Structure formats: structure tokens, C-alpha cells
Chains A and B, each alone.
Chain A
Amino acid sequence: MSVLIVTEQRGGQWHKMSWEAVAAGQQIAKLLEIEAFAAVVGSGVESLGGEVAKYKLTEVILCNHELLADYTPDGFSLALRQAIEHLKPEIVIFPHTYQVRDFAPKLAASFGKPFLSDVVGVTREDAALIFVRQLFQGKLNADVSVEGEAPFFVSVQSGAFRGDSAESASAPAAVRGIDVTLEASQIRTRPQKPFRESKGEVDLSSAPIIVSVGRGIKEAENIAMAEELARLLGGEIAASRPICDNGWLPLERQIGSSGQTVSPKLYLALGISGAIQHVVGMKGSRTVVAVNKDESAPIFEIADYGIVGDLFDVVPALVEALKESSGD
């Protein structure tokens, strides 16, 4: 009986959500009083295994193969399938990254098992584990249980578990490679070298104040109003995904799972409902202000200050008040 934690790296660079998965996996192992293992997948990952071994784990398993140098959904699911058949874990834990979203459902389905994705919490009720998932864009939470036989496949949402709370080992865990059998013909997709599109000139992660706009802004022209507020506050303008998709602001100003992750001292969310994909990019902000017409918008759950109202009334009032006070 064990928990298998699948870490993620690309070209020797760790995805930091790997440690959040380690923390979650250790917590689940404790709840069930079973052992925790971690897996590292790639090519030439021996030294990376050593870095994972500093965490409190029974063993670190290496899925090492030259065909795993570049990520492919076929290669990674076939390799992990072999690790799972070898270790026979009760639960397999992943960080809910883009890469995991690309292959974990396939891996779980190849075992005929469901995959509990984007989990934000876990508890134990009698013998069963209960996982918390967000539904309806974060409007409701669900306590979910999984039926049937192990293994269970689970991914944890960014920030739901703290990476720095992962327990270290007093002595490093053993690192062991397993034999991975892979043929080039089993890998059907041909990935090319990843590239960056925008120059990433705007680094919102260092901005102390961010004024962010969502669908509630309605029209491109209305963004000027939020920009003026940002300027008066000495902050940067940002947005949720739909605004950048419309081309109203450049993609590099997008906050959320597909954009930047920020933690300014002040984050003003204007007309942003608070869908999960946006919230994961800003929930670390020190003070959050939300302005939204809908009092049940999930953004208010993480707001320190809220104004239920029309942003087209509230923002001009804020601009006016700031102009008055700077005129003193």
C-alpha cells in the first residue's frame, strides 16, 4: 500500500508544483498510514532523483529512457504505466499542470480508472478519502469520493498545498531506477522545440499594486478608465484571460493559470467573477479588493474588501476621490 507522487521537470528544471504534489502525497500517506514514493520521469534524471530524495519518502523511482527526453503524452503515459504496474500504489498524485492535463486522463483511462483532477483539499471519513473539488467555475465546492478498486488518480490544484510544507527526510531516501520498455514507434506525436512568443517585457510579478479587469469591463474602450485608476494608484493594469483573448490588452498582462502568477500588496479585481483559472494566479496577493455586480461571485470569497456594485459607477468614484486627495 502506497502513494506514488509524480514530479515534473523539463530539461532538468523542476516545475515548482512538484513540491506541492509531494506535500499533498505525504499528507495523504499520513491519513491512510501508508508509504509515500515519488517518481521522476525523463532522460538522464539520476541526479534529479537525488534532489527529490531529500524529502521524507520511502523511495524515489526513476523512469529513465532516452525516448522520454522530450515530453510526449504517449511516452510519459507508457512509462508511468510501467511504474504503476511495478509499484502497485493505492493512489497516484500529480500536480495539476498543463503537462499533467495532457497525459494523466489518458494514463488513468488506460487502467479503466477515473481521474480526480484539480483537487483543492483532502480529508478522511472512515476508510474513505474525500477530495474537495471546485465546480461551476468556483461557485460551489464538492466533496467527492471515488468508488472501485485502486489505483486512484488525483491531481492537486496550484497553491492548494504548500510546497514549502513538504517534509524533509533526516537521511535521503533511496533512489532506484526501474526498467522502462519503450519503442520509438509507440510515440505518435512529434514535438518540436518549445518557444516563447512575447518578449515578456512586462513583469507583473514585481508590481506592488495591480488593477485587473475582467468580462465586466464589457468594451475595449472602457479599459482606459481602469488604466487611469492604476496610474493614480501607482500600479500596473492586468486582466483575466477573456480580455486578452479579445486583444483588448496584450497577453503578457494576463493573470491566471495560463498567464502570470502575482502576489502584489494590493490587487483590485474589477468585474472579475473569480473563476479558478484566474484565482490561481492572484490568490497570494496580500490585500484583495473586488468590485462586482454579482454578490455571489466567487471573487468575494478571497477578497478582503468588497463593493457590490456597478464598476462603471465605482471606478469613476475611486478616480475622483484619488484625484481630490492628491490635490490636497
Chain B
Amino acid sequence: MNIFVCLKQVPARDSLIRVNTAGDWIDDGDLSFEMNEPDAFALEEGLRLKEKHGGEVVAVTAGPARSASTIREALAKGADRGILIEDDRFAQSDALATAGALAAALSKEKHDLVLTGLQSDDAGFGQVGVILAELLGLPHGTIIMEVVAEGIMEVSAEGSSIRVKRELEAGWFQHVEMPLPALLTIQSGINKVRYATLIGIKKAKSKPLQRYTPQDLGVELASRQSIRRLYAPKSAKQTQFLEGSPKEAAAKLLEKLRFEARVL
């Protein structure tokens, strides 16, 4: 089974994020970046499916040159090869533009299953997977909790199909079947992601990494959503910060909760 996992590199989770002087994007000069956490679960799911059913896992990203390190991390964890579509504008591109570039690269490849994370921790569109399915003409399922492997490679009269468990809202779930090839967006937390081993890191260096530019793929990278202003949200509430030693702050808090908010 040929599994493609789409990954995004985003600012590290605990980064202090500052708005640039123009006020329209972040100041990313001294930020450190990491693999988008929801995508790490998609990668893990892809690696597990490959271990069960054979085939290869290809890690794909569309991003600035720095994103190569996220592909290398995926290769170190067990992906067989990588594809990087490189352009600085991907840092701010809308989901349609990003998915368009990914679709152009994936349409050159034979894919049985395409996986993405649920959403990115930076732009948070939560759309690239679903749009990619539309552009590639694939059926899709989102917020997948489980890829039911039984019968996954069984070829019936209509071809092979897959059974997945989707999360609905408010504690409801649903099984859905669909033919392959298909695209799934993976719910975070459904598996325990592995760490790269030293041997894995060593091996990653010799694994192939295909680089494209949007031009190579005949893609015009035009985002139609543009950020006019980026700013710290106005506090919805007037927060009273309680200071002092932990003991003092705790005492002040309890007093406020008893006599000011009157909730204790």
C-alpha cells in the first residue's frame, strides 16, 4: 500500500509569538519550528499501516526551505522517502493554495491512502486534507479514530476498500466504509507516536528527498485570503492577577472567590 502523509512545520508549541513591525504576520526570525503535532499522529498511523500491510510511507510537505527538517524527522521515524514543495509563501498560504500544490505533487504518484493531521497549530484552517481529497477526486473521512485494518487489502469485485471509525460530536462515533484510494484526516491522540532512533536518524540521511518548486509543478501559488492585521486578542475579561508567593497568591484567590465573585 502506498501511503502519503502530509505534514506541516509550525512554530514550536511553547514559542513566544510576536507580531512583526508591519503588523500583518509574525516575527519568525528567532522562532524554532517543529512538526505540527496533529500531523505526527497521522505519520504514526501511516507507519503502523505500512508495518501491517507493507508498501511505503512517503512524507510530503509544502513549506519554506526550513521544512526539510520536518521531512527528515519523518524519514528518521520510518518514512521511506520525502517530497518537499519549497516556497516561502507557504508559511502564509491559505488552505486552498496549499492543497493545490500538494495535489499537483501527489497526482504524479500512485497513492492508495493519503493521510493528514486534523488541523495545523498555526493557521488552524482544518481544511487541507478535505480540499486535497476534492482536488484528487478521492473519497475522504475526517476526524478518524481508527483505521480498521481487517479486509483493507482484500480486493472485492469493486476493488479494495477501507473501514474507519469517525468521531462525531458529543461522544458519538460512526463507522464508515469507502473505496481506496482515499484520504483520511487523523484525530490527534489516537496512537502513541514513536521517537526517532539513532539508527533511524542515520538511515534518514540516505533516504531520497524529492524537491519541487510550485513552478516545477505548474502551480500558481495565489492565496485568496489575506491578513490585513494581526494582533493580540483583546482580553474578553478584566483579569485580576494575584501576585506574591504561592501561599500569598492562594490566600488572595480564595478571598476573592469567597467575597468578590461569591462562588465559594
Contact surface of A with B, Cβ cutoff 8 Å: 73-74, 97-99, 101-103, 105-106, 108-110, 112-118, 130, 133-148, 188-198, 200, 209, 233, 241-242, 244-246, 251-252, 258-260, 265-266, 276, 283, 286-290, 294, 296, 298, 300-310, 313-314, 316-318, 320-322, 325
Kindly state the separation between the CA atoms of A97 and B167 in the bound complex, as whole angstroms.
Answer: 12
A188 is contacted by which of B95, B139, B142 (Cβ under 8 Å)? B139
Which of B67-75, B116-124, B202-210 lies at the interface?
B116-124
Does B226 lie at the interface of the complex (its beta carbon under 8 Å from any beta carbon of A)?
A: yes
Kindly state the separation between the CA atoms of A190 and B141 in the bound complex, as whole angstroms.
Answer: 11
B171 touches A197 (CB 8 A): yes
B230 touches A118 (CB 8 A): no
Does B108 lie at the interface of the complex (its beta carbon under 8 Å from any beta carbon of A)?
A: no
Q: What are the residues of chain A within 8 A of B49 when measuring CB–CB?
A: none
Total number of A-B contacts with CB less than 8 angstroms? 249
B236 touches A305 (CB 8 A): no
Q: Which of chain B's residues has its CB closest to A293's CB?
A: B14
A252 touches B95 (CB 8 A): no
B224 touches A147 (CB 8 A): yes
B250 touches A320 (CB 8 A): yes
Q: What are the residues of chain A within 8 A of B11 when measuring CB–CB?
A: 136
**Chain A proximity mask over B116-144: 1 for CB below 8 Å, otherwise 0:** 00000111111100110111000111110
Does B153 lie at the interface of the complex (its beta carbon under 8 Å from any beta carbon of A)?
A: no
B236 touches A306 (CB 8 A): no
| Most A CB within 10 A of own CB, among B188, B225, B230 | B225
19 contacts between A and B (CB under 8 A): A106-B134, A112-B96, A115-B125, A136-B26, A140-B19, A140-B26, A142-B228, A143-B229, A191-B176, A192-B174, A196-B173, A252-B171, A266-B263, A283-B236, A301-B237, A302-B237, A304-B238, A307-B253, A318-B250
**Chain A proximity mask over B238-264: 1 for CB below 8 Å, otherwise 0:** 111110001101110110110001011
A321 touches B250 (CB 8 A): yes
A110 is contacted by which of B95, B134, B251 (Cβ under 8 Å)? B134
Q: What are the residues of chain A within 8 A of B126 when measuring CB–CB?
A: 101, 105, 117-118
A145 touches B228 (CB 8 A): yes
A141 touches B231 (CB 8 A): yes
Given contacts A190-B178, A194-B168, A287-B263, contact A307 B254 (CB under 8 A): no
Q: What are the residues of chain B within 8 A of A142 when measuring CB–CB?
A: 227-231
A192 touches B175 (CB 8 A): yes
B249 is contacted by which of A108, A112, A134, A307 (Cβ under 8 Å)? A307
A318 is contacted by which of B173, B237, B253 (Cβ under 8 Å)? B253
B249 touches A309 (CB 8 A): yes
Q: What are the residues of chain A within 8 A of B187 when measuring CB–CB?
A: 258
Does B99 lie at the interface of the complex (its beta carbon under 8 Å from any beta carbon of A)?
A: yes
Q: What are the residues of chain B within 8 A of A108 when measuring CB–CB?
A: 96, 131
Does B30 lie at the interface of the complex (its beta carbon under 8 Å from any beta carbon of A)?
A: no
Does B169 lie at the interface of the complex (its beta carbon under 8 Å from any beta carbon of A)?
A: yes
Smallest beta-carbon distance B233→chain A, Å: 5
Q: What are the residues of chain B within 8 A of A105 when measuring CB–CB?
A: 95, 125-127, 130-131, 134
B177 touches A102 (CB 8 A): no
**Chain A proximity mask over B138-164: 1 for CB below 8 Å, otherwise 0:** 011111000000000000000000000
A98 touches B249 (CB 8 A): no
Kindly state the separation between the CA atoms of A265 and B257 in the bound complex, as whole angstroms.
Answer: 10
Q: What are the residues of chain B within 8 A of A251 when measuring CB–CB?
A: 171
Kindly state the separation between the CA atoms of A288 and B238 in the bound complex, as whole angstroms.
Answer: 11
Kindly state the separation between the CA atoms of A288 and B253 in the bound complex, as whole angstroms.
Answer: 11
Does B21 lie at the interface of the complex (its beta carbon under 8 Å from any beta carbon of A)?
A: no
B261 is contacted by which of A97, A145, A304, A316 (Cβ under 8 Å)? A304
**Chain A proximity mask over B79-122: 1 for CB below 8 Å, otherwise 0:** 00000000000000011100100000000000000000000011
A140 touches B231 (CB 8 A): yes
Q: What are the residues of chain A within 8 A of B226 when measuring CB–CB?
A: 144-147
B139 is contacted by which of A74, A209, A316 (Cβ under 8 Å)? A74
B14 touches A294 (CB 8 A): yes
Known: A134-B233, A192-B175. 12 other contacts (CB 8 A): A102-B141, A109-B130, A136-B17, A136-B26, A143-B231, A188-B179, A251-B171, A266-B263, A300-B239, A305-B241, A305-B257, A317-B250
